């Protein structure tokens, strides 16, 4: 495993601590995180929300920023909110919803 892959794995794990306050589950379990990439100590997290206009957008985005920035080797965090593919409950890990 490369250092980059190791750091990406740690970011994924850190994101498991970010809870969607409306649902009460973490954003990784919910399937809201689509991708994590780390390049030159910059973590880019691509994610979605359960619905457009979700009132938890800023809370979740702040949680992503906080969690990923605490990972050793990450000096900057960039978030990318996307709507494709559109999230649906089947994207959550089996048995969670």
Give the CATH number, domain containing residue 41: 3.30.300.130
- Residue 71 to residue 60: CA distance in whole angstroms: 17
pLDDT band of residue 5 (cuts 50, 70, 90) is confident
Let me know: does 72 contact 52? Beta carbons within 8 Å: no
- For residue 97, being part of any structural domain is answered with no
Please tell me the total count of domains within the chain: 1
Q: Encoding tokens for residue 37?
A: 């990439």
- Residue 17 to residue 35: CA distance in whole angstroms: 16
Domain that holds residue 41: 3-91
Q: Tell if the pTM clears 0.75, that is, is over it.
A: yes
pLDDT, tens digit, 9 for 90 and up, residues 10-35: 999 999 999 999 999 999 999 999 99
């Amino acid at each position: 495993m490369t250092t980059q892959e190791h750091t990406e794995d740690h970011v994924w794990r850190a994101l498991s601590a970010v809870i969607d306050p409306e649902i009460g589950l973490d954003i990784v379990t919910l399937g809201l995180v689509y991708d994590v990439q780390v390049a030159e100590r910059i973590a880019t997290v691509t994610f979605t929300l359960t619905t457009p206009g979700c009132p938890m957008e800023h809370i979740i985005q702040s949680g992503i920023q906080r969690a990923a920035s605490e990972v050793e080797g990450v000096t900057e965090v960039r978030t990318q909110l996307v709507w494709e593919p559109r999230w649906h409950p089947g994207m959550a890990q089996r048995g969670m919803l």
